[in-house]
Structure 1
């Protein structure tokens, strides 16, 4: 088993993921390793090289090609890290599918759900068991991930659900989109709301099952809301960017959570925004015309 810390970030070629890798590489020690992952081999290689060359970088940075929608590949990487290093200390699930306002939500549903939800489930299932005591397993979501943003008819599907039940609900939602019955069942047209709620529900399910052990070992499993971030993925959805953070600015609160000396029990399993848990039942269903990404 390696005494060095092992960190991994998905969706790390650019934007917030890239900023998180930079922050981890600056805060960790020279014997530690940060894995920068993404789907495009050239972008992964270029990004890892650029981070390595930054003046503030201390830890080792390696690029790894990982398609998070390939659940077998996610599982294989987790097993590799367990075999080679004895596990992993920091995992940030950050990958997201870029969706433009003019895109057909239904036409892009499979890709969006695969990247945001199927991948989240795979990361939780594969890296949860590989997380070493004192580790951090975080899923980047948004404040749209609180249950109140969904139609009340759907709340029971996510309330106190297991990970298996969340997965089945996500697949049921996917089928409803393809069958043309999603709207009558109460699902919003905008994919981002149920996707984020499902992400947070999945984290809550996994965290609940391991809470006692995690709190005894100083381990944190949570979802995080970084706030409004100026990225290529989010920019098309905003009309006012005056309060948006750069990816590097948005990464600070997430990094502070990762490097906190102790785990606040009130944050375990919760959706954390700027160091505070957002109440699970907060929010109101969004009007379909108001498709603005809420930080």
Structure 2
């Protein structure tokens, strides 16, 4: 087992698997834990990488029991430390949102990140990195109500306030008031947009609250439009290209300890640098 441990969520296929493959190649002394809900697919994916340092560990980020079991496994089998946590697991529906589909998207893309981060945070080693896969669709200009934009970008924002903000979208969808309330309404993407706005804000809040002496780095990034099951065949980037920015951040690029960053599309095309949002 390597002396350092990396965790990648939702990594049995697509971009998550691409990130695992790159990490295995670029971090030769690390143990890489590939996580997924489906055990058969997860084990097959880990085996496909062809590295004895890549291991499958089951994890459903929407289940508190699964998260607790995962943390128990980290402590029992992998030294109780995490040097890299890459929140990649994601869900998107392209059909018009319903309360049920929205609830599923928010559960994976926002609340799953929130719950797993809270559970794993005590295990983060000094100098660890946390990388969250966000999206260009997290642009707050799609919020048509100034109050919604002000709330999610407030300088005194808290994690609990983000929880409530994301939950208010779900409540508006169930009440049929998303349009009048000023939430995004186009196509099947609004829940995805809201979930990614939430995690970008969460990264900012976590970075601001981090103890500088621990030296943990937080970053949110957009991998671009990637040809995966989620991105579709017409997407403009390969999986290898999509993995570029998250792996760069994971292996030392982009932001310094205790800072936050938002990175769009490619590490060569930065809209914001450390601490600017």
TM-score range relative to shorter protein: 0.7 to 0.9
**Which of 263, 272, 277 pairs up with 1:278?**
272
> How many residue pairs align between the two structures?
265
Relative to structure 1, the CA distance from residue 188 to residue 98 in structure 2 (aligned partners, 3 Å threshold; closer, same or farther) is closer
Q: Deviations over 1:115-172 (max 9, x none)?
A: 1111011122122232111111111001222333322220232123111111111112
Per the TM alignment, residue 91 of structure 1 is displaced from its structure 2 partner at its CA by: 0.7
Q: Which residue number corresponds to residue 171 of structure 1?
A: 167
CA contact (8 A) 1:7 1:34 kept: yes
> 1:88-167 alignment to 2 at 5 Å?
88-100=82-94, 102-151=95-144, 152-158=146-152, 159-160=154-155, 161-167=157-163
Q: What is the RMSD of the two structures over their aligned residues, measured on CA atoms?
A: 2.6
Matched, 1:249 2:241: yes
**Which of 29, 38, 41 pairs up with 2:39?**
41
TM-score of the superposed pair, with normalisation by structure 1: 0.81
> 1:1-295 alignment to 2 at 5 Å?
4-30=3-29, 32-51=30-49, 53=50, 57=51, 60-82=53-75, 84-100=78-94, 102-151=95-144, 152-158=146-152, 159-160=154-155, 161-189=157-185, 190-210=190-210, 212-214=212-214, 217=215, 219-235=216-232, 241=235, 244-260=236-252, 263-264=255-256, 268-273=259-264, 274-275=266-267, 276-278=270-272
Which segments of 5 or more consecutive residues in structure 2 lack a partner in the other structure? none
Which segments of 5 or more consecutive residues in structure 1 lack a partner in the other structure? 283-295
Per the TM alignment, residue 251 of structure 1 is displaced from its structure 2 partner at its CA by: 0.8
Q: Deviations over 1:194-220 (max 9, x none)?
A: 221111011111111006335xx3x31
Q: How far apart are the structure 2 equivalents of 1:261 and 1:252?
A: 11
TM-score of the superposed pair, with normalisation by structure 2: 0.86
CA contact (8 A) 2:133 2:246 kept: no
